[in-house]
Structure 1
Amino acid sequence: MKNKIFAFKDAVEFENELFLFSKWYKEHGSPTMCFQIHSAILEPEKLKPVWDILERVFPNVPWFGNSTSGNIVDCEQTVDISVSAIIFERPTTRFRVFQYDFSRESVGGIANEIVKEADRNPWVKAVEIYHCISPFSTTALCEGLDAMAPDIQVFGGIVCSPDITSPNSCVFSSVGGYSKSSLLVVFYGGVDLHVDSRKISGWKPIGRNFHVTRSEGNVLYELGGIPAYEVYNKYLNIKNDKNFFYNALEFPMLYEHNGISIVRAAGASNPDGSLTMSSDIDEGSIVRLSYGEPQLIVQRIKEESEKCLQFAPEVQHIFSCAARKAFWSQREPTYEISPFKGLASSTGFFSHGEFLREKGHLNQHNITLVFASMREGPAVKHEPVKVEDIQEGMSTRLPLAARMATFIRETSFELEQINSKLRVMNEHLQDVATTDALTGLENRLAFDEILKMISQEDAESSGTWTMVLMDVNGLKYANDTFGHQAGDALIMAAAKAIKGAYGAAGNCFRIGGDEFAVVTRAPLDSLYPLYSNLQKNIEDYNKEALYHLSIAVGESRLRSDSGVRKSISDWKMEADLNMYRDKVRFHKPMENNESQNLKDLITCLISVEEAKDSYTAHHSERVRVYTELLARSLGLSEGSVSLITHAAHLHDIGKMGINDNVLGKPGKLTDDEFSIIKQHPVIGAKILMQSNYTHELVQIVLHHHERYDGRGYPEGLKGEEIPIGARIIAIADSIDAMTSKRVYRDAMSLDYCKKEIEKNLGVMYDPAIGKVALDHWDEIVDLLLKMQSGRPKVFDDKK
């Protein structure tokens, strides 16, 4: 692959050169070829002689071209009209030229046609685009071309004129003629063609982030709630006048899009303070002003030229933003690209904007260099032509220095004020949000946050956590007997004792009135010494205390002894159970037979309540039996099984407080009557709370009518918010309710009952517990049959 480059200065001379070249062309077998034209002259009458001569000397060879702000040949600026013959030496290499008119077709439609054409031609490896300056954004084209196969490279530029503030531009080709509103597209490909494209920016961010608070398409209205232009005015002293475009070019915006950092220049400043950009900037995104860093540009160009040398190109196409010419003000316009000189024959132009596809997305850039390198066949390494090393310095002009000084002064002052306010606010909010006012420990919100963080950790690291739940014994008695001042003193003493024992090893929280928690990664062998320190702190306090302090303690490791990681809710439940066992030990020496007598009375009342209604006789016992089977099948500990089955036996105790007329009504309940029935879990919980039952058992009874989807009662808990015991009882209760005859209906078949459970997994019932019930369905049926033996059957035993 090679270039033969011609400078068009005189029609006669140009035709003579082409005639001589045609002889070489024919002698070499007329290889595949096309002509590319770059022109800083836009008038069609001045370009027509070029086209006429090309078609006269090479009648069957395609040609295409575009207007420019200056032409580049072999990394140097050249004459106003340059013509390059691109010669493909491998017969497998192919190309096709297309031209689309924006005035006749929609941008989306054009993008769709290009994608379809690429799909129809699997040989395509690269697409080169030349886009006329248009009043609309390039975003629709870029997003439309993203649908192309991910391995196709796309590169190109927005064509322009020597006056880069002018909207005038044009493209032209042997397939579409001359146009001021078109897109020129060239497909390259073939098994022997290799393409490598890259970009170079060198712009660095300055100042603070600006949030895009209002934009519509490519019109940027507001940054941080103020007109976008005001950012340039306030920080850089750039006026909204005819020179805005040139002045703002020195400080373009950096914008993250599709995971790529894009340099975006404001095309124009409008009377309403908005900025017209060449491509869309989405609302909610963040932009920063930037400046060209000579040292960074030099470094990037050297790095990329070395990569290009490894690729070993034969032809290069260069798209260099015209704004970069002004950056190297005391050098030649092509000064910065000199390291690419001699790597391969190169042609290109100074553009209005640049295109490059990266990470599967086509993006339009400004003030950027884009290089497209091509070769046929394997890489043939060669030494580059030695060129003068580019320097890292540039002259600093007074307006730039003045604007930079203004920017730094304004930004520093503004940030200092903002940071000062934020420090005060954050300190206050941190204290209010996460600290318990009475004890100074972290509060329930902080406790929930650390549990949320632990739940998101990977299983390997999260297994080292231990939770310690604590409850101040006898706080209600202290409050009732000595007043809340005594209770507060005990709470503060407990907090001090807990923090003194565990504070260095973990996080300490007050999570309720008399409830505390510690979450720690302390090693297993250090937990008992920490507990011993707590007991010592309590003993030391009680030596001179007016009010006796006692704390019930329960521990739980997040990972079981067998290595299984528990859910957060089950982790808390186990610590809670262990804490209440410890609390029972505290109460046992002091309690008399009154509490046990009351528990016996409650059990007796359940029997009395069920005896009134033959249809619900022994309901609590059957629910207890099913519950025990499910709890054991789930692999719960003996302590947990005992607690949950005890709760199952007591789950309907609250019906003692419901009028018999409502409970035994043979017909459909009214809404008011159903509201009364729905109170029985709350009534039951209140009865049990007065009877020294554990908090965990009371919670299970209170929530046994919650639904997994959150539509149950009394509190509408959802999923794992519902205690696991209540989730088990919900299924056991439903099984017995469906298979028992009621005053208002007959018993339902076991087959119907099983299907109802299957249908409501994840709706009414915990899907994991429901699956266990279904897996053990034969055992449930056997239990039911045994309990029915000796009594009339009240269900259809069809399985």
Structure 2
Amino acid sequence: MHSQQITWNLHAGWNPAIEQPEKVALVFYFGTRDALACGTRYHELRKMFPKAHILGCSTGGQINNSDVSDEDVVAAAIRFDSTRLRLVSRQISGASASWDCGEAIGRELSDDELAGVFLLSDGLNVNGSDLVNGLVSAIGSTVPLTGGLAGDGADFNETLVGGDCAPQPRLVVGVGFYGKAIRIGHGSAGGWDLFGPRRQVTRSAGNILFELDGEPALDLYERYLGPEDSKGLPGSALLFPIQVHDAEQPDSAVVRTVLAVDRDRRSMTFAGDVPQGWTAQLMRGNFDRLAEGAADAARQARAGLRSAKDDHQFSILVSCIGRRLLMGQHVSDETEAAGFELGDETLRLGFYSYGEISPHAKSGICELHNQTMTVTSFAEVGG
């Protein structure tokens, strides 16, 4: 396996040129919605890599090694020696179709030699939990599934995903890796601190939260935010996610972030499920703890890779847009922390998302996460 990074910007175009472009099997690319909406960047990549699967999405910022940018489109072109690939895409009509969409993609990817799946999804018209659970139902719980939900900065207007086509809304794309040579390590961690009282989810439906402790969820949330920050919902909610867990299963805790609010129904729509009867608690972050969370995710991925030090390695970092908004100019602290653990020789590419997909660090069950840094590392034995 060999990976090489290229970037695009308005002034220089794509730079640098790729060695042996005809042998490239897979291209990942990430950019802002404005940069990708016209489809030109995809068509340029298709011309450069005629035989490759090309997979990308819109973001809340692009990660290029330790740098974070809103200007460049970042891409990685990957050659494999012994690994087969399969790319599957599906349109999704809305959140209620998430399970069926995931299951359909999983059925097409399922194979005795399937070693892992990387998934990119529309970030606004989906229930990420159902999407993940549907896919896992088809491929099995032992196959690692990682990826993320596309972003649109803090605007929440429209997200775009492309899989061997120009980026478009309401698309979900999965790429499967097959064979005994490929090694995939994964890690996910947060670094947020819990605060305030624990409350019970007394009324919810899937990823829509109606009541906490019998009180309209949006009323409670707006009291915590205050009148000024409440005007900025749902964007301002990214700074205060919630953790939900089943009180009878301590390892079930996941973080959820808001995608939309309904001021008439006083409800909040999250990227993943908020099960009725579970416990919910608000969270807040600080720079040091978030950076350590990113380092922890990278350590998990490195430890799970099971490859030799001299094997070429490539990593995709998917972090939540809420982390970026909170950290501001300090956002490179978390990308640098992850890079220190992965090593300078590891090419690192990624994006800021509306949700992160990875097996849970404690339970091992694949989940839709929010407000985490998720790292997926690839290597090929003998490659």
TM-superposition CA deviations, 1:132-185 (whole Å, max 9, x none): 1234422321221232222211111110223x23231111232x4442111011
- Partner residue of 1:345? 347
The structure carrying a bigger helix percent of its residues is: 1
Supply the distance in 2 between the matched residues of 1:242 and 1:9 (Cα, whole angstroms): 34
Q: In structure 1, list runs of 5 or more residues that go unmatched.
A: 380-799
Supply the distance in 2 between the matched residues of 1:318 and 1:117 (Cα, whole angstroms): 26
1:357-436 paired onto structure 2 within 5 Å: 357-358=359-360, 359=363, 361-377=365-381
State the shift of 1:378 in Å. Answer: 6.8
1:87-236 paired onto structure 2 within 5 Å: 87-88=79-80, 90=81, 92-103=82-93, 106-119=97-110, 121-147=111-137, 148-162=139-153, 164-174=154-164, 176-236=165-225
Amino acid at match of 1:8: W
Pairing 1:36–2:28 present: yes
Q: Quick one: structure 1 residues 34 and 229, their matched pair in 2 at CA, closer, same or farther if it must change by over 3 Å?
A: same
Supply the distance in 2 between the matched residues of 1:235 and 1:10 (Cα, whole angstroms): 41
Pairing 1:316–2:315 present: yes
Contact 1:325 1:334 in 2 (8 A): no
State the shift of 1:233 in Å. Answer: 3.5
Query: Cα RMSD between the aligned structures?
Result: 2.8
Supply the distance in 2 between the matched residues of 1:99 and 1:198 (Cα, whole angstroms): 25
Amino acid at match of 2:124: S
TM-superposition CA deviations, 1:683-707 (whole Å, max 9, x none): xxxxxxxxxxxxxxxxxxxxxxxxx
State the shift of 1:260 in Å. Answer: 2.8
Q: Quick one: structure 1 residues 12 and 213, their matched pair in 2 at CA, closer, same or farther if it must change by over 3 Å?
A: closer
Q: Quick one: structure 1 residues 106 and 237, their matched pair in 2 at CA, closer, same or farther if it must change by over 3 Å?
A: closer
TM-superposition CA deviations, 1:264-321 (whole Å, max 9, x none): 1222332232222222211111111111144433444444444555545700001011
Q: 1:59 aligns with which of 40, 50, 54?
A: 50
- Partner residue of 2:59? 68
- SS of aligned partner of 1:348: strand
Q: Quick one: structure 1 residues 269 and 63, their matched pair in 2 at CA, closer, same or farther if it must change by over 3 Å?
A: closer
State the shift of 1:330 in Å. Answer: 4.1
Supply the distance in 2 between the matched residues of 1:297 and 1:290 (Cα, whole angstroms): 12
Q: Quick one: structure 1 residues 98 and 136, their matched pair in 2 at CA, closer, same or farther if it must change by over 3 Å?
A: closer
Bigger drift between 237-246 and 72-81 goes to: 237-246
Q: 2:277 aligns with which of 274, 284, 307?
A: 284
Q: Quick one: structure 1 residues 217 and 45, their matched pair in 2 at CA, closer, same or farther if it must change by over 3 Å?
A: closer
Contact 2:25 2:79 in 1 (8 A): yes
Supply the distance in 1 between the matched residues of 2:189 and 2:279 (Cα, whole angstroms): 22
Q: Quick one: structure 1 residues 239 and 361, their matched pair in 2 at CA, closer, same or farther if it must change by over 3 Å?
A: farther
Contact 1:199 1:356 in 2 (8 A): yes
Supply the distance in 1 between the matched residues of 2:88 and 2:107 (Cα, whole angstroms): 13
Pairing 1:77–2:63 present: no
1:224-623 paired onto structure 2 within 5 Å: 224-237=213-226, 241-256=230-245, 259-271=251-263, 272-310=265-303, 311=305, 314-331=313-330, 333-341=331-339, 342=344, 344-358=346-360, 359=363, 361-377=365-381
Amino acid at match of 1:321: C
Contact 1:142 1:361 in 2 (8 A): no
Supply the distance in 2 between the matched residues of 1:58 and 1:11 (Cα, whole angstroms): 22
Amino acid at match of 1:352: Y
Q: Quick one: structure 1 residues 13 and 285, their matched pair in 2 at CA, closer, same or farther if it must change by over 3 Å?
A: closer
> Structure 1 vs Structure 2: percent identity of aligned residues?
21
Amino acid at match of 1:371: V
Supply the distance in 2 between the matched residues of 1:166 and 1:242 (Cα, whole angstroms): 15
Supply the distance in 2 between the matched residues of 1:94 and 1:378 (Cα, whole angstroms): 15
Amino acid at match of 2:211: E
The structure carrying a bigger strand percent of its residues is: 2
How many positions carry a matched residue from both structures? 364
Contact 2:301 2:375 in 1 (8 A): no
Greater RCO, CA 8 A, separation 6+: 2
Contact 2:60 2:321 in 1 (8 A): yes
State the shift of 1:103 in Å. Answer: 3.2
State the shift of 1:364 in Å. Answer: 1.4
Supply the distance in 2 between the matched residues of 1:172 and 1:186 (Cα, whole angstroms): 12
Structure 1 or 2, whichever has the larger Rg, is 1
The TM-score with structure 2 as length reference comes to 0.85
Contact 2:62 2:74 in 1 (8 A): yes
Supply the distance in 2 between the matched residues of 1:134 and 1:6 (Cα, whole angstroms): 28
Supply the distance in 2 between the matched residues of 1:224 and 1:218 (Cα, whole angstroms): 17
Amino acid at match of 2:20: Y
Supply the distance in 1 between the matched residues of 2:294 and 2:230 (Cα, whole angstroms): 34
- SS of aligned partner of 1:65: strand
1:651-666 paired onto structure 2 within 5 Å: none
TM-superposition CA deviations, 1:420-476 (whole Å, max 9, x none): xxxxxxxxxxxxxxxxxxxxxxxxxxxxxxxxxxxxxxxxxxxxxxxxxxxxxxxxx
Supply the distance in 1 between the matched residues of 2:147 and 2:327 (Cα, whole angstroms): 23
Supply the distance in 2 between the matched residues of 1:122 and 1:284 (Cα, whole angstroms): 38
Supply the distance in 1 between the matched residues of 2:191 and 2:270 (Cα, whole angstroms): 20
The TM-score with structure 1 as length reference comes to 0.43
Q: In structure 2, list runs of 5 or more residues that go unmatched.
A: none
Amino acid at match of 1:7: T
Supply the distance in 1 between the matched residues of 2:374 and 2:37 (Cα, whole angstroms): 31
State the shift of 1:111 in Å. Answer: 2.1
Q: 1:25 aligns with which of 20, 24, 43?
A: 20
Supply the distance in 1 between the matched residues of 2:328 and 2:48 (Cα, whole angstroms): 41
Contact 1:233 1:239 in 2 (8 A): no
TM-superposition CA deviations, 1:107-150 (whole Å, max 9, x none): 3332222232233x222111111111234422321221232222
Q: Quick one: structure 1 residues 273 and 357, their matched pair in 2 at CA, closer, same or farther if it must change by over 3 Å?
A: same
Q: Quick one: structure 1 residues 151 and 58, their matched pair in 2 at CA, closer, same or farther if it must change by over 3 Å?
A: same
Contact 1:192 1:376 in 2 (8 A): yes
State the shift of 1:2 in Å. Answer: 2.7
Amino acid at match of 2:58: S
State the shift of 1:10 in Å. Answer: 5.5
